[in-house]
Chain A
C-alpha cells in the first residue's frame, strides 16, 4: 500500500469546501463552521508529524474536525447546560395542559432521516466535485452552488461566455455520470 504524503500548502484549495460542508450539517451555523474548519487546519499543521500516512489526508483532517465539533458542543453545553430548564413530558403528576398528543410520534415528521440523507448526499456531491479538474469544479461551484451571474464569473476568471458554457457542459456531464453511479 502506498504511503500517503502530507502537503499542507494545498489543504485549503482541496479540502476546505468538503470540511465546511461536513461541519455545516452538524453545527448549522456558518460562522462557527468556518471557525471550526480553520481550527482544524491549524491543528492539523501542529500535529503534522503524527501523520502516519495510513489514511488519506482528507480522512485524517476529518478525524481532527470530528474532535473539534465534539469540543465545540462540550463548550457551549458547559455554559448553557447549567442554566437550562429541562421540561419532561413524562412526569406522572397530573398537571393541566399535559397533552397526550405530545407523547406520540408524529408520522409526518421525518426530518431526522431526511437530514441524514441530505448530509450523505452533500458528501457524495463533494466527492464528485473532487474528481473534476480544478477549473471545471471551480466554475461549477460558482455557477450552480453559489449562483453567480455568468458575467461575474467571466470577469473573475477572465474567460469568455462561450468558454464558460463549454466548461459548464463538461462539468455537468461528468457530475451526472459520477452521481449516477453513486446516487440517482
Chain B
C-alpha cells in the first residue's frame, strides 16, 4: 500500500481541479485535492478562480452553434462567395 500518495505535486492537483469542473474526478481524487489545498496557497487560488469561471459561464448561458449547423452555413456561404466572385 506504499504506492498510495497522500501528497501530490501542484500539476496533478490542478489537473484534478480541472476535472472536477466537469464532474469527472473520482471521490479519492477530490479528497487528495482537498488535502493538497490545505497547505498550498497557489492551488487554492487557482481552484477558487476555476470554480468561479465555471459558475460565470453557467450563469451567462452562452450558446455556441454546433458543428453541423456551422458546416451547412459554411457550404451555403461558399456557394454564395463563388457566385459573387464570378
**Within 8 Å of chain A (Cβ to Cβ): is B56?**
yes
Does B81 lie within 8 Å of A9, measured CB to CB? yes
> Shortest distance in angstroms between B76's beta carbon and chain A's nearest beta carbon?
7
Which B residues lie within 8 Å of A118 (CB)? 59-61
Interface residues of B, dominant DSSP: helix
For A156, the closest partner residue in chain B by CB is: B67
With A45-B80, A184-B52 in contact, is A122–B15 under 8 Å at CB?
no
Does A146 lie within 8 Å of B19, measured CB to CB? no
Q: Mark B58-69, 1 if CB is under 8 A from A, else 0.
A: 011111111001
Which B residues lie within 8 Å of A122 (CB)? 60-62
**Within 8 Å of chain A (Cβ to Cβ): is B22?**
yes
Contact residues on A (Cβ < 8 Å of other chain), bracket: 35 or more
Which B residues lie within 8 Å of A8 (CB)? 77, 81
Q: Mark A35-70, 1 if CB is under 8 A from B, else 0.
A: 001100110011000000000000000000000000
Q: Which of A62-120 contact B (CB under 8 A)?
A: 118
Q: Mark A1-38, 1 if CB is under 8 A from B, else 0.
A: 00000001101100011001100100000100010011
With A16-B70, A175-B53, A176-B53 in contact, is A165–B19 under 8 Å at CB?
yes
Which B residues lie within 8 Å of A11 (CB)? 77
- When the two chains form the complex, which single residue of B18, B63, B64, B76 contacts A172, counting CB atoms closer than 8 Å? B18
**Within 8 Å of chain A (Cβ to Cβ): is B1?**
no
Q: Give bound CA distance, A136 to B57, whole Å.
A: 16
Which A residues lie within 8 Å of B57 (CB)? 125, 144-145
Query: CB within 8 Å of A: which residues of B?
Result: 14-15, 18-19, 21-22, 24, 46, 49-50, 52-54, 56-57, 59-66, 69-70, 73-74, 76-77, 80-81, 84
Query: CB within 8 Å of B: which residues of A?
Result: 8-9, 11-12, 16-17, 20-21, 24, 30, 34, 37-38, 41-42, 45-46, 118, 121-122, 125-126, 141, 143-146, 150, 165, 168-169, 172-173, 175-176, 179-180, 183-184
Known: A46-B84, A172-B21. 18 other contacts (CB 8 A): A11-B77, A12-B77, A16-B70, A21-B62, A21-B63, A30-B63, A34-B73, A42-B80, A45-B80, A121-B56, A144-B22, A150-B22, A150-B24, A165-B18, A169-B18, A173-B46, A176-B52, A176-B53
